[in-house]
Amino acid sequence: MKYIILNKPYEVLTQFTDETGRATLKDYVKVSGIYPVGRLDYDSEGLVLLTDDKTLQHRLSDPKFKIEKTYWVQVDGVPTNEALEELRRGVTIKGVKTAPAKARILEPEPQVWERSTPIRFRKNIPATWVEIKITQGMNRQVRRMTAAVGYPTLRLIRPAIGPLTIGDLQPGEYRELTPEEVTKLKSLTAGSTYTKPAHKKPTGGRHYDSRQNSSRPFRKPGK
């Protein structure tokens, strides 16, 4: 099995083909037969996990497991305590309330690479880095959450998925996971989600008796 993490650059699609000629994972990852787990928006940056382990891919994408994803979000302005509390409680997006998030202002600011296209700066309005951790995967969720509390996102980086961190990878760089990292990743989805369904006792008809290796009529107790 192959397990790869990539630092996806800004304005790169989280897929391997694009009919319109935009940059894709194929321009950076030279490993065949692997696919991204989940997605990261075209205008977002950071950690993308790729694998050919279909079972793990499916489980990590299953909302039942509530895999925590960490985002560093540069927002327009300085969020108030009230705004941060609102993110922690959950905000309503198009009639749907998000699950509670972990949110805090990053102090000191994270040391990140320069983006290929610089964000816009306004002299009288500072930009603030906020760390947001969520377990959901709604479309453009983090951007919509910060906008909902009054602080639009200027830049968004995902430095971690569960125990995996981007480390020193620069935009466009990737590496294989260590065996220890793979074990930790699989442990996130260990559980009963894929257990066999409970056996239902027959209520009539024929019943297979393994002791006799034959079929015999099944009768309800008392009959």
Task: Give the catalytic positions in this structure.
Answer: 41
Which of 152, 148, 178 is closest to 164 using CA atoms? 178
Distance CA 71, CA 156 (A): 7
Q: What are phi and psi of 93, to 5 degrees?
A: -125, 115
Q: 3 to each of 107, 183, 209, how far by Cα in Å?
A: 32, 11, 46
Which of 3, 8, 33, 4 is closest to 156 using CA atoms? 8
**β 45-51/153-161 pair status:** parallel
Residue with tokens 């125990």: 163
Distance CA 72, CA 50 (A): 21
8 A C-beta contact, residue 70 and residue 158: yes
